[in-house]
Structure 1
Amino acid sequence: MSAIDDLFQQLRAKGEKALMPFITAGDPDIAFTGELIETLADAGAAMCEVGVPYSDPVADGPVIQESYQRALDSKFRLEQLFEMAANLPKQQAPDRPAMPLVTMVSYSIINRIGLETYVQRALAAGYSGAIVPDLLVEESAKLTAICKAHDFSLIQLVTPTTPRDRQIRIAESSTGFLYFVSVTGITGERTELPTDLVENVSWLKEQTDLPICIGFGISGPETAKRLAPVADGLIVGSAFVRRIASVTPENRQQVLTEVGSFARSIIKAMH
């Protein structure tokens, strides 16, 4: 059982849902990324999705694209992703489960360093899984087998336009949880979400035992309150990254405090 499986088992037993913030590795620097992860864990986030900067973004809106560019301009390197996670404090508060980390990473990056190598290095650093948005289910068999052999979760995406028979195939090849994209298009905060979103997620929950987490477009507590009843977890990206974009050498602690407060407000709305 992976750390992600264990997390959702514990949350379901308590009737709780998972907040999964997305942050960009190396924005504005890798040391701050580590501080953000600790801040989010202290705020009660259940899991953290760490985006691996890439020059050709996959479905990322302008807020996240700009964060990737800031990290690349700061000379981010993949090695930093592993070193940062490996050096995080291991202590966890006794009243909550440990916070697993997953990478959001392009398949081209994984393929470049080798599938087995990426999984082994990520696990050794402390990551529990990977979201690979540009990996087609038809081409996922090799990475799926490697991930299962190492108990490393391979999280795949289902979109509003994915045919239902294909949704089932994606669920069958995924582990950890399913990432349900709430809207067509790119990431970003939205005030309105599709009217059939709850219905579509409810249908998919009847087809699989995997937890289903909704991402894209969740802007804050109001959206979270609406979606929490149907989802096992909510992934919030641009709303966090936009706050992080304002960091300067002088206000680092202020931004960390704001990020922690925002996370707590979403968790409160979800529950």
Structure 2
Amino acid sequence: MKQVSPKKHLGQHFLKDENIATKIVDSLQQQHVATLLEIGPGTGVLTKHLLVHDHFKAFDVDAESVVFLKEQYPDHQDQFLLQDFLKYDLNQLATPISVIGNFPYNISSQLFFRIWDHRNDVHEVVCMIQKEVADRIAAKEGNKTYGILSVLLQAFYDIEYLFTVPPHVFNPPPKVQSAVIRLTRNAVGDLGCDEQLFKRVVKAGFGKRRKTLRNALKDLNLEFATDAAVFDRRAEQLTVAEFVQLTNHIAS
């Protein structure tokens, strides 16, 4: 059977270490979900452990990968979809959803923004990403790596940095270290603010992270008083709760 060739333009680095694959799959805690979705199955190193789930689907934009998996697992052909997670209507899937995968590194941030958009449907994420991105997502306020994804994801998910993965266990080896993290939906139903404005405020604040919020938030083009002490601070100094308070101040 023809093997799948990793494609640079898709950011593919195929995991080849079976022990790490098992460790990633075992990191899933929510076993009884309505949909278990794998993003970027590639050669199926995680997939073969996931097929035991009744409601499993795998999305990949690589036609070669989808054909390979359908040939490898002919009894599960309907579960392998030539689909882009970023464009697929997730409302078609039964919820709650658990997401797992070795995320393509060149679109990992986009995948997390998509997950944030569906935060009430996606209850768990276990994924391997670039270590730098994992550090950023898990960072707390006051840390230089604390940023947009840190605030948005921590608002609705408990973040756990699980373990680091070296380059040599991939084909081809990436030029960076990788890491596996777990996101678990927390008990927050809503933030108590306009959540889309919250997203705009967070993005604007970190868009000019070296400036005080008084200057960084000018790009919002909204009228609001900036005499409060919080506007003398920088975005990286604010907790999630303080961003919520800031959003309500701007909206008032």
Taking structure 1 as the reference length, what is the TM-score of the superposition?
0.29
Larger radius of gyration: 2
Which structure has more strand as a fraction of its residues? 2
Bigger relative contact order, structure 1 or 2 (CA pairs below 8 A, ≥6 apart): 1
Taking structure 2 as the reference length, what is the TM-score of the superposition?
0.30
